Amino acid sequence: MQSYVQIENAGMVFNTKKGKFTALTGIDLHVDQGEFIALIGHSGCGKSTLLNLVAGLLDATDGVLLLANKEIKGPGPERGVVFQNHSLLPWLSAFENVYLAVEKVFGRTESRKQLKARTTAALELVGLTHAAGKLPGEISGGMKQRVGIARALAMEPKVLLMDEPFGALDALTRAHLQDELMKIVAATKSTVIMVTHDVDEAVLLSDRIVMMTNGPAATIGEILAVDLPRPRERLQLAHDPHYHDLRSKVLEFLYSRQMRPKEAA
């Protein structure tokens, strides 16, 4: 296994009106190629900050972050990002939203026909060819998120970064997209880092769960290996004692941190 993402002693300090605020400290994490990592913890523990460091949207104040042995300096097409808010341009169709990203990455090296083929393939991957011509305002929230995932995957990123991508969806839509995401990741062999507040989502989707301590000065508290065989079927897992054991371990960590909200101060 090749480590695609290496985070070495990373820290993040923000300058605020009240002075310096240490959001993260001493973050050490290696993510292997094809691995699915879930980041979980209480609100304010720096999960999204850590994801933004990997995305290059923030520059770490301490330590170093590497992707395929190259230092991360700013955003790049090798990292596709899916936010909780789909961030689609409302005046462009689903196809055009994905095409815009494809053209940005491959426009100098590929023909328009090839770019359109890439766009169509990405929409097929998320099951949205039937809605390719629709505007964001004409499709459901779940479909918007699938367009966002298609847009990220169309860039063929080395790492897919997801910040609570299903957090605003109803339970049934969320479950459906979780199942779809597992199929997509299996098909594309993607390396994924996902922020979530949902314990069941973390156990269902990930290979390892990175549990964050409370902020300020949050760090990695524990890392739990999720050794459930793939492919995973949620109905079967509902009766699997090992699934419930893993779930309990995450809950125990979260509840213990809830008892000591200023532990990391």
- pLDDT band at residue 219, thresholds of 50, 70 and 90? very high
Is 40 within 8 Å of 197 (Cβ atoms)? Answer: yes
pLDDT at residue 265 in the model: 38
Q: Are 21 and 14 in contact (CB under 8 A)?
A: yes
pLDDT at residue 100, as a whole number = 95
Domain range annotation of the chain:
1-72+159-265, 79-156
Q: What is the mean pLDDT of residues 79-101?
A: 91
**Alpha carbon separation from 193 to 89, 112, 197 (Å, rounded):** 25, 31, 14
Given pLDDT bands bounded at 50, 70 and 90, which one contains residue 170?
Answer: confident
**Is residue 263 scored above 60 in pLDDT?**
no
pLDDT at 98: 96
Whether 1 has a pLDDT exceeding 70, the answer reads no
Q: CA triplet 156, 159, 165: central angle to 5 degrees?
A: 95
In this structure, are residues 37 and 208 in contact, taking their beta carbons and an 8 Å threshold?
yes
Average pLDDT taken over every residue of the chain? 92
Q: Flag whether pLDDT at 84 surpasses 90.
A: no
| 31: three-class secondary structure by DSSP | strand
- Residue 2 pLDDT: 55
Whole-structure pTM value: 0.91
Fold type of domain 1-72+159-265: Rossmann fold (3.40.50)
Inform me whether the pLDDT recorded for 218 exceeds 90.
yes
The residue with tokens 């941190």 is: 257
> Which residues does 237 contact at the CB level (< 8 Å), separation at least 6?
204, 228, 243
Token output for 94: 């689903």
Distance CA 89, CA 18 (A): 36
Q: Which two tokens stand for residue 189?
A: 């062999």
Which tokens is 74 given? 């700013």
d(C-alpha 249, C-alpha 222), whole Å? 10
3-state helix, strand, coil in the chain (%, to 5): 40, 25, 35
What was the pLDDT predicted at 262? 45
Average pLDDT over residues 165-188: 89
3-47 tens-digit pLDDT? 789 999 999 999 999 899 999 999 999 999 999 999 999 988 999
DSSP label at 137? G
Long-range contacts of 59-63 (CB under 8 A, 24+ apart): 60/10, 60/11, 60/12, 61/11, 61/12, 61/13, 62/9, 62/10, 62/11, 62/12, 62/13, 62/25, 63/7, 63/8, 63/9, 63/10, 63/11, 63/27
Question: Residue 66: pLDDT above 90?
Answer: yes
Average pLDDT over residues 55-60: 95
